[in-house]
Amino acid sequence: MAEIKLEHIYKKYDNKFEAVKDFNLDIRDKEFIVFVGPSGCGKSTTLRMIAGLEDISDGGLYIGDRKVNDVAPKDRDIAMVFQNYALYPHMNVYDNMAFGLKLRKFDKQEIERRVKEAARILGLEQLLDRKPKALSGGQRQRVALGRAIVRDPQVFLMDEPLSNLDAKLRVQMRAEISKLHQRLQTTTIYVTHDQTEAMTMATRIVVMKDGVIQQVGSPKQVYDTPDNVFVGGFIGSPAMNFLNGQLEDSHFKMGNIKVKVPEGKLKTLRENGYANKEVVLGIRPEDIHDEPVFIESSQETKITAKIDVAELMGAETYLYSKVADQDFIARVDSRTDIQNGQDVELAFDMHKAHFFNPESEERIK
Ligand code: ATP
């Protein structure tokens, strides 16, 4: 069992700058947890505190039932995979994978068994004699994973392991790491600034900003019900649109354009004291439609928009436009050929929309 508990964890650098603030999280056995957030939000610092590479300024860190704040990294039963692979250039693949086991005085046969098994899982059997410089980026990353696997630790910690790979390889390795996790079921904590990696790999995502957790949830929860403007804008690509306006009776009004708010949402807004108040509408680009069938049935939630730019992405097209001087993007099928400068009717699927408080930026729920 490898449950990890972080209780009121703080990291202060130089006794003043708080890089991580009151971080609380229970990580369950076998979970694949992803810490995601922009550069500098404290995700690596948190991971390094779990690894024991960074002191914890305050709070308790538990692996299983054991408080490990003061336990040396080598005694925490974790294996870490870094962004730069950290392979030994003078050793071949076999020795790179065997190194940690030799240090721990495993016997030769056991080392061979474990390295061969990891090489088989990772498709490295033909490369065991090669030095790192004779490997591709993806192969090196696999060796780095192999070195973690042979240790058979309670926990894998991965710090942006794919960021040095090109886009295509990243997608491939993403799937490989997910498969590896399904197979080994080892509790994994994975750090990335890439929301797509977080969405595709995580059992739960921890979204961070400025050293503070913004939301913890499954990819679907975080995507469908973001707790605040930051999470809504960070998770999803292209990002969620945010439009300022006010409620006016049963409508949301932006300048002189109005869209009707569904009953259920109106009720919530009214109960929370937002009747006729300023709010921020959050709507994902895919929830703004141009299909005639949708437009016809959305007489009260459609607008006419002049398309500044229609960006053909292949199967879908991004339409960049403005409503009441505020930018928004719609993501539509590429069936219709829409030209720059054209006026089109777009319908907002208000059932999928969210409302946020303009000051606190929290979702109104
Ligand atoms: P990135 O994706 O860029 O690695 P991150 O979210 O992992 O970002 P951290 O590396 O955890 O961010 O850094 C969090 C904050 O702590 C940053 O503002 C960083 O400048 C600061 N920081 C990190 N290490 C130190 C240090 N040794 N001394 C002082 N400040 C530090």
Which of 31, 15, 33 is CA-nearest to residue 23?
A: 33
Please give the pLDDT value at position 16. Answer: 86
DSSP code string of 161-195: TTTTS-HHHHHHHHHHHHHHHHHH--EEEEEES-H
Q: Is the CB of 44 under 6 A from ligand 1?
A: yes
Helix (H) or strand (E) holding 312: strand 302-312
Ligand 1 atom with the shortest distance to the CA of 37: 6
Q: What are the structure tokens assigned to 314, written together?
A: 């292949």
Average pLDDT, integer, range 14-21: 92
Please give the pLDDT value at position 79. Answer: 92
Please give the pLDDT value at position 251. Answer: 97
What's the mean per-residue pLDDT of the chain? 94
Q: Is the CB of 284 under 6 A from ligand 1?
A: no
Ligand 1 atom with the shortest distance to the CA of 42: 11
Q: Is the CB of 48 under 6 A from ligand 1?
A: no
Which of 24, 67, 66 is CA-nearest to residue 46?
A: 24
The 10s digit of each residue's pLDDT in 132-184 is 999 988 899 889 999 999 999 999 999 998 888 888 888 988 998 999 999 99
Q: What are the structure tokens assigned to 157, written together?
A: 């910690």
Q: Any idea where the domains of the chain sit in the sequence?
A: 4-228, 241-356
Range 241-356: architecture per CATH: Beta Barrel (2.40)
Does the pLDDT of residue 85 top 80, yes or no?
A: no
Q: What are the structure tokens assigned to 144, written together?
A: 């780095």
pTM: predicted TM-score of the whole model, two decimal places: 0.93
The contacts of residue 343 (CB under 8 Å, 6+ apart) are 304, 305, 306, 307
Please give the pLDDT value at position 95. Answer: 96
The 10s digit of each residue's pLDDT in 263-314 is 999 999 999 999 999 999 999 999 999 999 888 888 899 999 999 999 999 9
Strand, coil or helix: 102: helix
Range 4-228: architecture per CATH: 3-Layer(aba) Sandwich (3.40)
DSSP code string of 29-86: TT-EEEEE-STTSSHHHHHHHHHTSS--SEEEEEETTEE-TTS-GGGS-EEEE-TT--
Please give the pLDDT value at position 83. Answer: 79
For this complex, say whether ipTM is above 0.90. yes
Closest residue to atom 26 of ligand 1, CA basis? 13
Q: What are phi and psi of 3, to 5 degrees?
A: -90, 145
Does the pLDDT of residue 336 top 80, yes or no?
A: no
d(CA 222, CA 230): 11
Beta bridge partners of 317: 312, 332
The 10s digit of each residue's pLDDT in 30-77 is 999 999 999 999 999 999 999 999 999 999 999 988 999 999 998 999
Closest residue to atom 20 of ligand 1, CA basis? 40
DSSP 297: T
Average pLDDT, integer, range 220-247: 97
Closest residue to atom 7 of ligand 1, CA basis? 44
- Lowest mean pLDDT across 48-52, 73-77, 196-200, 352-356: 73-77
Residue 348: pLDDT band by 50, 70, 90 thresholds? very high
Rounded to the nearest whole angstrom, what is the distance from the C-alpha of residue 46 to the centroid of ligand 1? 10
Q: Is the CB of 13 under 6 A from ligand 1?
A: yes
Average pLDDT, integer, range 110-131: 93
